[in-house]
Amino acid sequence: MTDLLAAAERADEAAPGVVSRRSVNDWLRARTVPQILVTVAVVLYTAYFTKRSLDIHHGLGTASYDSALYDQGMWLLSRGRAPFVTLMGRNMFGDHTSFVLLFLVPFYWVAPGAWIMFFAQSAAIGAGAIPVFLYGRRRLRSEWFALAGAAAYLLHPAVGWTNLENFHPDAFLGVFVGFAIYGALTRRWAVYAIFVVLSLLVKEDVSLVIVPLGVWVALRRDRRIGLLTVGGAISFMLVAMFVVMRGLIGVPTRNSWRIPFGGPRGVIDTAVTNPTDLVDHLRSENRPWYVWQMTAPFAWLFLRLPGVALISGLVLFTNILSTFWYQHQIEYHYGLVAVPALALGTVHAIGAIRDRVDLMDVGPGRPADPSDPVGERSAPLLVPARALAVALLALSSFVAATMWGPVPWGRTELYYGQPDNVYSQTMRELIAEIPADASVAAHYRVTPHLAYRDEIYQFPTPFRVELYGSDTALNGTRLAVRADGVDYVMLPTSADEGVAGDWLVVASAFDEVASNAHWVLYRRNRAVLLPPPPASQLPAPAG
């Protein structure tokens, strides 16, 4: 006891800096090899996909949808303005209630740039491996086994493809949903509550995974917390859609057309009166293949104890139910939200497999018959069942990544992006001529590089509306006031881009100010009135 007190006194007398250094050194020495490897894996994943994303961006591989529109919205917020995104004609939070983007706004005060989106996206997705590792070492009692689970998450094709699909706030669900499930599994309710709330801030439809999580919690952990989760998630969704979104853009959702058979009521009616039509729909357009690709990387090991993996069931079902083709393709971001539950569910199920199984046992857990003569009993044949399951997971995830994922060793042809290709170089030469406060209409590959301004449009909008507004009512019309306010237009020289017809309508009101082999920059001549739209073009309200 005296020795302990003396040691404490010596520690009190030590310089604060020494104590701090010792604490850091002790912490570093306590790190294990698997902990270091999973940290390295997350860092390398983040660095690799950030670089690839930025190379694609600077090589003109991003577009208005869905890169420039988020960039413009967050830039506007950083300047204290409402995030009315002129690239899509909607308030950014009316399009989706992605309030999580507010966390990125301060970075635009310091160093605005596309790096903010693409680094945040890669880091958030990569960090989703952490809750898988943390739960794996607890459930499987082996950090090496946990490392395999974390790697399976990072290698999942839906994870990598989401990272390369422009930018989507859904990327944050990789880590948020993962930690929410981890908190539920380990009964760490503070962690659970924080990450459930953060998940709901990503998008209005995240309740599709949070509600099933709440149901699981109510059944397997704590009924009160589970029911609060279900009620809170549904309430948040209703407020997000019917108060926030409808208040900002006039409708609670723009995606109701994706529900087949005329809407939810039609789906239920079809399921009851003509279920073969519903089955045929779910079997069409390679939907079963999508489910196969989403689940095969985990070798279906989650079936051993499927409850946790089923948290993703509603998301997967709505993806294959949707009439929107992209929603049931693994190359698009819609599948990412299902991966944390599948990964953690697989780890959870492997934990239910015994470390070793005696193949000579006639019945699981049955003791040997004591009446058997000594020497005639069969020697036990022990098989490391859990280790074999982990090995199968590692093999399956690696093969799936090789077959379908955007990995360097895979068989899928990848687009890496060349930041200094001739198109991007010549584009940058011309956009340098455009004043920072000018209103611009430009080709969709150029708009991501001109997003930091109040008014940027994807040509032919606003001269002829495309992909603008809350619905299709404005399509084909001219936004007279906005069209007259455009100062610069930047278009490709290639006739293959299909912009010539729309450009000829307004060309007389613009003068060419710069050009090269691939791009032309025009400036508005205010001495010339903007030609009226052709007779075939519908009138549009001002604004």
Q: Between β-strands 488-492 and 519-524, what pairing exists: parallel, antiparallel or unpaired?
A: antiparallel
Domain ranges of the chain: 1-30, 128-350, 422-524
What pLDDT is stored for residue 29 in this prediction? 80
Tens of pLDDT along 404-438?
A: 999 999 998 888 788 999 999 999 999 999 999 99
Integer Cα distance of 67 and 50 in angstroms: 14
Which residues contact residue 134 at a Cβ distance below 8 angstroms, ignoring those fewer than 6 apart? 146, 182
CA 378 and chain centroid, separation: 54
The token pair at 160 is: 């990598």
pLDDT digits 0-9 by tens, 29-61: 888 999 999 999 999 999 999 999 999 999 999
Q: In the predicted model, is pLDDT for residue 278 greater than 80?
A: yes
Question: What pLDDT, on a 0 to 100 scale, did the predictor assign at position 4?
Answer: 44
**How large is the average pLDDT for residues 145-170?**
97
Q: What is the pLDDT of residue 363?
A: 52
What is the per-residue pLDDT across 68-124, written as a single tens digit (0 to 9) for each? 999 999 999 999 999 999 999 999 999 999 999 999 999 999 999 999 999 999 999
Element (H, E) at 533: none
Instruction: Give the pairing type, strands 488-492 and 440-442.
Output: parallel
Which pLDDT belongs to residue 1?
A: 47
The interaxial angle of helices 287-295 and 339-350, nearest 10 deg, is: 50
268 pLDDT exceeds 50? yes
Task: Tell me, rounded to whole angstroms, the distance of Cα 198 from its chain centroid.
Answer: 14
Question: What does the pLDDT read at residue 73?
Answer: 98
Average pLDDT for 221-244: 98
Is a pLDDT exceeding 80 seen at residue 368?
Answer: no
Instruction: Band the pLDDT of 535: cuts 50, 70, 90.
Output: confident
Could you report the per-residue pLDDT of 240-256, keeping only the tens digit for each?
Answer: 999 999 999 999 998 88
Cis peptide before 448 (omega within 30 of 0): no
Place 541 in a pLDDT band, splitting at 50, 70 and 90. Answer: low
Mean pLDDT of 11-36: 73
- Quote the mean pLDDT of the chain: 92
pLDDT, one tens digit per residue, over 388-403 is: 999 999 999 999 999 9
User: What percentage of the chain reaches a pLDDT higher than 90?
Assistant: 83
Task: Give me the pLDDT at residue 225, please.
Answer: 98
pTM over 0.85: yes
- CA nearest to 50, candidates 146, 147, 122, 127: 122
Give me the phi and psi of 402, to 5 degrees please: -65, -40
pLDDT of residue 5: 42
Write the single-letter amino acid at 151: A
User: What pLDDT shows up at residue 378?
Assistant: 63
Average pLDDT value for residue range 292-296: 98
Across the range 127-137, mean pLDDT stands at 98
